[in-house]
């Protein structure tokens, strides 16, 4: 079913829509455009919980722009997929940094637009990258943030068949082979822990870009990076919440975006301070690039500072102030 232009008007397609609207707000500083772009009761699931008002998005955007006035973001990838004939779900990978320095980080924002208006968003930022670059105390950064908790769709059971229906609703069964490869990989390697199977799903010369601006290469590097996350939550599992798949030569061909929730008790290696034995509810997004049926690249992001803040909240540490959901 073709997508009605009402979904992305006045731009030429959803890719153009996402890139231009993001630039208008974040680069040209037209913060007020959010009132035209978001529904008043738009929902945003961020690293610190869920917000349910457009005004909180406006205020949060203003604070982020003011805090980093020299940073400029641009689209590194836009993976979009139709949701019916008048809506689309995009996965926007944003590369942000100073124009001529090596200081940078990445964000992924997954946005559900219906008839040109934002209705629900899932967003993750690599806040650890900046903290490490400036030598900040990550535990102190986490301590001053309050983990609010989630509402709405994020608190519901994971979709039974995310290939057919995700948190954003029914999806077209496009690029079925690539989507199936990614989901089988997540189940086999991430959840069943058969790390030997990395070579089955990935090219030998794979690249993983992940939090803290880490670049991981080769199957053994991929295994070690996954173990680093899992070792603190050894019983944890990844839920698939949503999927987008798209083909575009501009972005190197087939890409699949997966919104995932990682749930596990903090009972393993104490990489995040004293153990709590309590579960974490981690929002993450991965974007996979495939070539000839194999995965050649993954960008895997979550907010590691927010994860520390969530653990601190379950430990009973008292936060100093509120957090910016957006």
Q: Show pLDDT as tens, one digit a residue, over the chain (326 residues).
A: 689 999 999 999 999 999 999 999 999 999 999 999 999 999 999 999 999 999 999 999 999 999 999 999 999 999 999 999 999 999 999 999 999 988 999 999 999 999 999 999 999 999 999 999 999 999 999 988 999 999 999 999 999 999 999 999 999 999 999 999 999 999 999 999 999 999 999 999 999 999 999 999 999 999 999 999 999 999 999 999 999 999 999 999 999 999 999 999 999 999 999 999 999 999 999 999 999 999 999 999 999 999 999 999 998 886 666 678 77
**Residue 302 CB neighbour total at 10 angstroms:** 23
Angle at 8 between CA 27 and CA 98, to 5 degrees: 15
Q: In CATH terms, are 5-143 and 158-315 the same topology?
A: yes
What pLDDT is stored for residue 308 in this prediction? Answer: 96
Cβ-proximal residues to 240 (8 Å cutoff; 6+ apart), any chain: 158, 159, 162, 166, 183, 186, 258, 259, 260
Is the link from the previous residue into 10 a cis peptide, with omega within 30 of 0? yes
Q: Which CATH number is associated with domain 5-143?
A: 3.10.450.50
- 3-class secondary structure, 19: helix
Q: Which DSSP string corresponds to 185-235?
A: HIIIIIIT--GGGHHHHEEEEEEEEEGGGEEEEHHHHHHHHHHHHHTTSTT
- Give the right CATH number for 158-315 from 3.40.50.10280, 1.10.10.10, 3.10.450.50, 1.10.240.10: 3.10.450.50
Domain residue extents for the chain: 5-143, 158-315
Nearest Cα to 109, choosing from 221, 232, 22, 219? 22
User: Could you give the C-alpha distances from 100 to 68, 72, 106, 133, 266, in angstroms and in order?
Assistant: 15, 11, 16, 16, 40
Query: By the 8 A CB rule, do 273 and 311 touch?
Result: yes
pTM of the model: 0.96
- 3-class secondary structure, 319: coil
Considering just the CA atoms, what is the radius of gyration of the chain in Å? 19
Burial class (CB in 10 A: 0-12, 13-18, 19+), 138: middle
The pair of three-digit structure tokens given for residue 279, joined into one six-digit string: 């579960």
**Residue 2 CB neighbour total at 10 angstroms:** 6
- 3-class secondary structure, 173: coil
CA torsion sign for 287, 291, 292, 296 is: negative
Query: By the 8 A CB rule, do 238 and 275 touch?
Result: no
Compute the distance between CA of residue 183 and CA of residue 300 in angstroms, rounded to an integer.
Answer: 14
Q: Burial code of 51-77, b = ≥16 C-beta within 10 A, e = fewer? A: beebebbbbbbeeeeeeeeebebebbb
What pLDDT is stored for residue 240 in this prediction? Answer: 98
135: alpha, beta or left, given left = phi > 0 and alpha = psi -120 to 50?
left
What pLDDT is stored for residue 320 in this prediction? Answer: 63
Query: By the 8 A CB rule, do 32 and 54 touch?
Result: no
- 3-class secondary structure, 80: strand
């Amino acid at each position: 079913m073709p997508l009605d232009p009402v979904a992305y008007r006045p731009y030429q397609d959803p890719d153009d829509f996402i890139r231009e609207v993001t630039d208008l707000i974040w680069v040209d500083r037209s913060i007020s455009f959010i009132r035209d772009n978001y529904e008043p009761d738009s929902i945003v699931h961020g690293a610190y919980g869920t917000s349910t008002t457009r005004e909180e998005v406006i205020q949060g955007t203003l604070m982020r722009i003011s805090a980093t006035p020299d940073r400029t973001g641009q689209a590194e990838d836009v993976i979009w997929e139709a949701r019916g004939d008048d809506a689309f779900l995009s996965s926007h990978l944003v590369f942000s940094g100073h124009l001529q320095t090596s200081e940078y980080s990445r964000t992924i924002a997954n946005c559900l637009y219906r008839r040109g208006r934002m209705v629900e968003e899932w967003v993750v930022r690599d806040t650890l990258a900046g903290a490490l670059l400036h030598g900040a105390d990550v535990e102190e950064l986490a301590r001053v943030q309050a983990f609010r908790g989630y509402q709405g769709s994020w608190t519901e059971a994971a979709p039974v068949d995310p290939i057919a229906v995700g948190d954003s609703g029914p999806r077209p069964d496009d690029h079925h082979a690539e989507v199936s490869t990614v989901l089988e990989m997540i189940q086999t390697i991430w959840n069943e822990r058969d790390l030997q199977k990395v070579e089955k799903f990935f090219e030998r010369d794979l690249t993983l870009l992940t939090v803290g601006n880490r670049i991981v290469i080769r199957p053994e590097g991929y295994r070690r990076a996954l173990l680093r996350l899992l070792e603190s939550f050894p019983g944890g599992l990844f839920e698939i919440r949503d999927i987008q798949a798209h083909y575009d030569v501009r972005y190197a061909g087939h890409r699949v975006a997966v919104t995932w929730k990682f749930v596990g008790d903090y009972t393993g290696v104490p990489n995040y301070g004293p153990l709590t034995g309590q579960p974490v509810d981690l929002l993450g997004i991965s974007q996979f690039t495939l070539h000839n049926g194999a995965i050649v690249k993954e960008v895997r992001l979550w907010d590691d500072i927010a994860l520390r803040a969530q653990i601190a909240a379950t430990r009973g540490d008292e936060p100093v102030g509120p957090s910016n959901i957006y």
